[in-house]
Structure 1
């Protein structure tokens, strides 16, 4: 599952600069930058939804290189041998992206969780982001100043049914009362705004969105790691059996090895999103 996020960025970043033209490697279709699998020769076609929200993008303009996913997309493009002037962005609605059939892009980047069910119809790259759990409160809540999970022990916690968040709340927050379980995100939001719960626990990308698009007076209290359950892992989406999948995986591996991916994550999803780590 993926929701957009509307967070005002606190940090500033430069527009995309020309990346190294060193190739990430070759797939069985040949050189990555000249692969016959490209949607259009001579350019890299990248898709995302519209509107494209912060902190993943900036001002609904994926082409400016600002925001985590825009920056990652240009970094991948550089490893594949495409400078910023050779990248073309197209709009692809989230729900359409993982539908079976031909694609009008080379890869889609849109907080798309790589799930076995979706992978039956499309290819996913290796992960470029694993979402932490996060806590959302109201800015007038008595818990708005909490800086640790222990400070939430007596809070009334709300989670969505059949999610990792339920067990994460039990194991990490260890609340003194059982978390309230809701069928939908809307139900959680209503409960928070109506005072039925003190805090809402869900994955960090969803918290980004809720705090700025749905919850009036919402405050992102912070994020915390949870190693159990099924984490939300985002991958670049490609057409099924794409000849570019191996190239994209090699590009991401290079970005992980040289530290670029960690740097972009810190820049856009930690500092910029103002989501501090909640210690035990």
Structure 2
């Protein structure tokens, strides 16, 4: 009888056949464990390994500001980000009643550590620094930062970035708005830093700062509905090769990331995101560019 390395060939063939029937004995390539996941990962509608089985848990801060949310009610489906969250959920196979909202402070959403949400939506800009701690979906909104000042302020007369160097500026902590002040404007005075945008708005109304920096849609909402004595002075141009975008935040090792990104990409490709932007952010018209 023919032997292969002292094992009878007939026995070896039988072992191979049995092994194949039991899903194979040959070693398989080790799957890569990463927050981005494998593009071929299963995204079966409504069957994802979510925080709560059968539900999709979505995080956002409180208060939930307009125009991203309406009347501080993320679950209403009204406001750009509320509508985007439900559109993503639908793409993933979760009906509206299967979406659970959870309050998550802005800075906590992208801080290191395990998350108690499937994704968070809260005007969080994608950045290399934040990607060290969390994963992001594809961008769902292209962002521009803008300056708001009281109409009576000297900051309201600014026509360029240089005109802002000698004014007192403010922004919310941990935001790209604050990054723009420090890295683009580089003012002579240290900017005032606030825990929430509400505090920054109060400081502006009370004259504690000359101007604040927020994203452009928020700027138009504040000046149109909350601080009518203020105006949008202008917006900053794109500052680099990578445009600023808001992304959905996920746990660093979340297996949902490729599925969520695929959902966002599909919503961009079929025009859903553009339609929601037109519906909820239409008042955010062009503002002068500060160069």
Q: Distance in 1 between matches of 2:274 and 2:182?
A: 28
Q: Is the 8 A contact 1:124 1:245 kept in 2?
A: yes
Q: Cα–Cα, structure 1 residues 167 and 101, in superposed 2: closer, same or farther, change >3 Å?
A: closer
Q: Is the 8 A contact 1:159 1:202 kept in 2?
A: no
Alignment partner, residue 17 of structure 1:
none
1:109 aligns with 2:125: no
Q: Cα–Cα, structure 1 residues 141 and 100, in superposed 2: closer, same or farther, change >3 Å?
A: closer
Q: Is the 8 A contact 1:45 1:107 kept in 2?
A: yes
The Cα shift of 1:50 comes to 1.5
TM-score of the superposition, structure 2-length normalised?
0.65
Alignment partner, residue 4 of structure 2:
none
In structure 2, list runs of 5 or more residues that go unmatched. Answer: 1-38, 172-177, 195-199
Q: Distance in 2 between matches of 1:152 and 1:165?
A: 10
Q: Which has the higher contact order (CA 8 A, sep 6+)?
A: 1
Count of residues in correspondence between the two structures: 241
Q: Distance in 1 between matches of 2:103 and 2:209?
A: 39
The Cα shift of 1:42 comes to 1.9
1:64 aligns with 2:72: no
1:137 aligned counterpart, secondary structure: strand
Backbone CA RMSD of aligned residues: 4.0
Q: Is the 8 A contact 1:224 1:277 kept in 2?
A: no
Q: Is the 8 A contact 1:49 1:92 kept in 2?
A: yes
Alignment partner, residue 179 of structure 2:
163
Query: Which one of the candidate residues 116, 128, 148 is aligned to 2:140?
Result: 128
Q: Is the 8 A contact 1:123 1:240 kept in 2?
A: yes
Q: Cα–Cα, structure 1 residues 215 and 154, in superposed 2: closer, same or farther, change >3 Å?
A: same
TM-score of the superposition, structure 1-length normalised?
0.67
Alignment of 1:220-231 (within 5 A): 220-221=232-233, 223=235, 225-228=237-240
In structure 1, list runs of 5 or more residues that go unmatched. Answer: 1-25, 170-177
